[in-house]
Structures are given as C-alpha cells and as structure tokens.
Amino acid sequence: MARRLRISFDRPEDFRAEFDRNIAKGGMLVPGASGLGLREVVEVELDLAFTGERRTLEGEVVHVAPGGGVALQLLRTAAELRDDFAAILAAPAPESSLLELSELDGIGVLEPMELELPADTTADVVEVDLADLEGDPFGAAGSLPATPATAPAPALERRSAARASVRVPARLDGTNARVEGVTRDLSVTGALISADASELPPGKPVRLQLRNPETGDPVEVSGRVARHVETHGTVAAVSIAFDVPPEQKNELAALVKAAEQVHRQRTAAGISGRIEELGMPSLIQMLGRSSPHGTLSVSRDTEEGVLAFETGNLRYVRLGATRGLKALSRLLQWQEGSFEFHANVDALAVEDEPLPLEAALLEAIRRLDEAAHAGTPRLDPAARFQVDRAALAVAGALAKVEEAVLDLATAGLTVRRILDVVPEDDTQVSEALLALIERGVLLAVP
C-alpha cells in the first residue's frame, strides 16, 4: 500500500489559499517530507479540522527538493477536485493557522521504511508555517522536472489500484506510431513505461501489449496516454491509463499478479547497487562475463536503460529511443545511478542481431575516445531550431547526415530527439548540427 502523509488545516482560509495556489492546478507542495522517491505514489490525508472531515488524495512525487520537501502531482482532474471541495471552499474565512505534517500510525506504510523528519525535530509532528508553502509550482510558469515545456498534460485520473514496481516488456501502438519499452510500474488501472513516446501525445488513445512473464501469453489492453515524464529534451517515460472492459479485468489482474511474483523472485535472487561503486564499464563487463544470461536495468534521474546478456553476447541494449552501440556508448558515460541485475532475459518484440560483448564494449569505448579527441562542443539537448531559407539556398550541397538533421530540425525536434532518431553516432550528428548552425542554416529558437 502507498505511504500516507497528513496535512491539517485548522481554518478554511488556509485551505482555500492552498487550493487556489496549488491543488486546483493539480499539485501540492509538502515541505519537510523526506525519504520519498521520485515517481512514488503516496496518499495525502487532508485533515480539515474546521469541518471535522478528512479527505484523501493520491499523488505522484514529481520533484524532491535537496533540502527536504516534495512536490506532488495529484491523480485527480481539476474539475473533480473543484466538485469535491465546492462546499468546503464556500465556507466563511476567518484568520491564519498552522499546517501539521505527520505520518499516520503505520497504516499503509511500506515495509519498515518510514518518512524522515527534519534533524531538529523531537516530536512526531512537524509544524509547518504557511509561508513555507508560498509559491506557484503548479501554475503556468511552473518548472517541475516532470512538467512538459509545451501544452500541459491532462491531469491523471485517480488510481483505484496501487501500482507495483515491475518490469515487463511493453509495446504501444497508436495511429502511425509504434513504441517499444519496459514497464516501470503496473496495476490493473495503468502503467508507467520507460519509452520515448514523443509521437504519442497526452490524451492519445493507444493499444498496449504486455506479456505474461510466467506463460509468455500476450495481453492487449486499450488505454490513453495520461502524461509524459520529460528529461533533457526528450520523453523518458509515458504513463498510460487503462480502459479495461469488465470481461478483461480478471485476465489483467492475473498478469499483474504474475508480474509481481516474478519480480519478487528475481529481486530476491538478483543483485542491486549503485553504479558509482563499480563504474558502468566494469559493471557491464563483470556481469556479462560472470553470468551465462541475465538482464541489467540501470536508472539515473528519470531515465532508465536495459541491457541483456546471453552466452557472451550483448543480446540487446536500449536507452529511450536508442539501441545497440549508440545506446551502449551513452550508458558507458553514466557515472552515477542505480542498477538491478537478475539471471533471466525477457525477449523483446523487436531485437537487433546480438553483438559479442567484448567487441561491443571496445567499439563503444573507441567511439567515446574519438568524440573526446574531436572536442565537439556540447549542444543544449532541449534546444530547437528554425531554418533560415535564404542561408539554406546558398549553403550548397549538404552531406547525408546534414540532410537528415535538417529535416528533423525543420519538424521541430529538439537536439536530443535529433540525436536519438538519426542512426549515426552522436558525434557525427552533433558535428552535422554544428555545421548547419555555423553556416547560418539553423537558428536557435529563443
């Protein structure tokens, strides 16, 4: 079950101020809370002391402040929130008060891990001054990491089931778009999937195919894109809300149960740790040599990558939209993050030809060395460009990679998306971008 926070409002005007500032925009700030992870779903109990009522909202952690405190995206639509609290918001408004933040008495707390309180706290309740909640993180100018820079995603619907952290190969099919990925969490009502779903905007109807990890049987479910998790100019993950007919609920529940069971077994028999303890090159080499087959999942911030080993070969490697040597080269540059390894390989719907592990590592390292010696300047991954047609007319013939880059830049893709889509290695694509910029063909969009 999800962990729970309690916030108490003694006076109606305090609740009204927080509702107008954040809740009505789909989020909440909870200062003083720590020990929560990014993307973790928690329950927030609103103790409305001035009415004698308690209301519970679910929220997903979308930002963790370094000094303590989290920002939550609520899993209800703005219209639902306004309807639910209409009567309370109409209450008369006297003067100021304090908020109270505490954990509940063990109900819904996962494992023995508990929320940590600030170091100078001696009681089991933290009193938070209302000034700590000032700001408008969920407004039009909000800049939380998970908030898209363009039109905001529609608010997620309230989850009626807790999601379990399980990894199952997934395929998303939308109109004119197919995306391969791996689930990060899964329930009978939805899933969060590591995949570059830039071509599937929020609100888009999709078909999701999952495979039962015990039987291998495919399960297809309809749904819609609820939101994107964005990072560095691309989409790192996509949240899907399911639309499950009654006759399919048992099938989906069986899949979720099987996935949870398999995940528990693999976690118990596998190993996990921090990337910085060994370094990514040593980690890949060690696990690839020591295990006949297995899957290594790595995560850093909002990004996740996956590598599968089999009999001395690199069976597949994925990082967002990239695969093969290009994905491996990027992963080798990770200097921190976490990893999990288990001695099983999940077959993907589409796999490349396996690569000899040692040869793949040597080639990826060679590419990184060449890039380091080339000294190519690093471009802002979130940058977009506009085309100067006059400069293009006098630029002369373009190289093949430059033509591909120009087409994607014209379509409005970010630097990161261009690097992902063009199959050549990142150094070649970056050099093509820089050449077009230097010739005045591409102009950065302010």
Q: 147 lies in a domain?
A: no
The tens digit of pLDDT for each residue in 215-268 reads 888 899 999 999 999 888 899 999 999 999 999 999 999 999 999 999 888 888
Q: Decide: residue 235, CB within 10 A, 0-12 exposed, 13-18 middle, 19+ buried.
A: buried
Residue 206: its pLDDT value, please? Answer: 95
**Measured distance CA(345)–CA(436) in Å, rounded:** 42
Shared-domain flag, residues 389 and 370: no
Residue 28: its pLDDT value, please? Answer: 83
pTM: 0.63
For residue 17, give the CATH number of its domain.
2.40.10.220
Cα angle 408, 409, 414 (rounded to 5 degrees) comes to 95
How many domains is the chain partitioned into structurally? 4
Domain ends where: 115, 133, 151? 133
Q: By residue range, what is the domain housing residue 65?
A: 4-133
Give the list of residues 6+ apart from residue 315 with CB closer than 8 angstroms, or none.
Answer: 293, 308, 309, 345, 351, 354
pLDDT lower than 50: segments of the chain: 93-160
Shared-domain flag, residues 360 and 394: no
Token code pair at residue 395: 């630029």
Residue 137: its pLDDT value, please? Answer: 42
Cβ 352 vs Cβ 323: under 8 Å: yes
Shared-domain flag, residues 55 and 75: yes
The tens digit of pLDDT for each residue in 362-382 reads 999 999 998 888 888 889 999
Tell me how crowded residue 306 is: count the other CB atoms within 10 A of its CB: 23
Q: What are phi and psi of 158, to 5 degrees?
A: -60, 130
**Measured distance CA(266)–CA(259) in Å, rounded:** 10
Q: Alpha helix locations (H) across 333-382?
A: 357-374
Token code pair at residue 393: 């007319």
**Measured distance CA(215)–CA(223) in Å, rounded:** 23
Residue 67: its pLDDT value, please? Answer: 66
DSSP for residue 168: -
Closest to 338 in 3D by CA, of 269, 266, 273: 273
